[in-house]
Structure 1
Amino acid sequence: MAAIAAGVFRRTPIERSDQRVAWDRTDQAFFAAGACHILAWVCRESYPERSIEIAGVCLPGQRQVFHTYAAWDGWAFDHSGWNPEPQLLAVNTDFEGQPLTRLKITEGLADFCQKHHHRMPNQYWRDPRPRARDYIGRYIPPWA
């Protein structure tokens, strides 16, 4: 699957305020907007033998990460599966209509969530980690 901008799947006001409604979206929509950080961390945990980093993008001059993904050796994994990282960045830049800043995320999930106002797994309607593991399993990693 070719990379698709995360913004295509932005949550509606009701999806932002009601975790059950957000949960009921398709897996791709759920992991594109609202749980991308969970998907990224679970991806890294799923391949402990790889040096997978967590990366995020934000608008220029801003520190608020609006999309998070796993990155490894020039590849990126997000709601679109595995794609070359430059392609992922390009589709998001095109969608947002301005250049984006890529950030390497070095803190753990809890600190990231606190710093960037993202939900921890226990703050979703249900635990999203099993759903993320299933989603990751649908995609063949680039090293396979």
Structure 2
Amino acid sequence: MYRIDEAKKRDPAQRWALPDRVFFACGACHILAWAFLDCYRHADFRAFWLKPDAGFSGNHIVVTDGTRIFDYHGYTHRDRFLAHSVAKARRWWPGWQATLVSLPPDVLISEAKSRTYDRLWLREPGQFLHDALPRARAFLNRFPVP
């Protein structure tokens, strides 16, 4: 889990200039999740949102087959990932808790559809400085096929 300065997050050029891992950890995780699901339709993965409890920050979108989770880290065992995410978030937000919420893939690339979920608001790939999908696909190629 990374945290970046809000000024960087709001500046399209600074956000785009972030290293890939940080870019896909801080605001573009849903684009990486969609690229994964699109590239590996044969795999039995689904998108999930780590939805922080009310009053907390730390949203994150991942894909999982129930055993493994894939995000900017690559593949991680589900239980290990969840324990790490909770421990890391609690360093910044004591008492942090989250719920895993299943999301249909089309929500990941639609601002309008994402906003139908309470406290979810995702950018579309073209709402970044440049289209984030080619960057997500290139990043995805660094990892083995599931």
Counterpart in 2 of 1:105?
A: 103
Counterpart in 1 of 2:93?
A: none
Deviation at 1:113, TM superposition (A): 5.5
Deviation at 1:62, TM superposition (A): 6.7
Q: Report if aligned partners of 2:64, 2:70 keep a CA contact under 8 Å in 1.
A: yes
Deviation at 1:104, TM superposition (A): 1.1
Counterpart in 1 of 2:13?
A: 20
TM value normalised by structure 1: 0.84
Counterpart in 2 of 1:129?
A: 133
Question: Which contiguous aligned blocks of 4+ residues in structure 1 show a shift greater than 3 angstroms?
Answer: 61-65
Consecutive unaligned residues in structure 2, runs of 5 or more:
91-95
Question: Aligned partners of 2:63 and 2:12: how far apart in 1?
Answer: 24
TM-align CA RMSD: 2.1
Q: Report if aligned partners of 1:40, 1:70 keep a CA contact under 8 Å in 2.
A: yes
Deviation at 1:73, TM superposition (A): 3.8
Counterpart in 2 of 1:139?
A: 143
Consecutive unaligned residues in structure 1, runs of 5 or more:
1-5
TM value normalised by structure 2: 0.83
Q: Report if aligned partners of 1:53, 1:71 keep a CA contact under 8 Å in 2.
A: yes
Identical positions, percent:
24
Aligned positions of 1:83-94 closer than 5 A? 83-94=76-87
Q: Report if aligned partners of 1:55, 1:103 keep a CA contact under 8 Å in 2.
A: yes
3-state SS in 1 of match to 2:129: coil
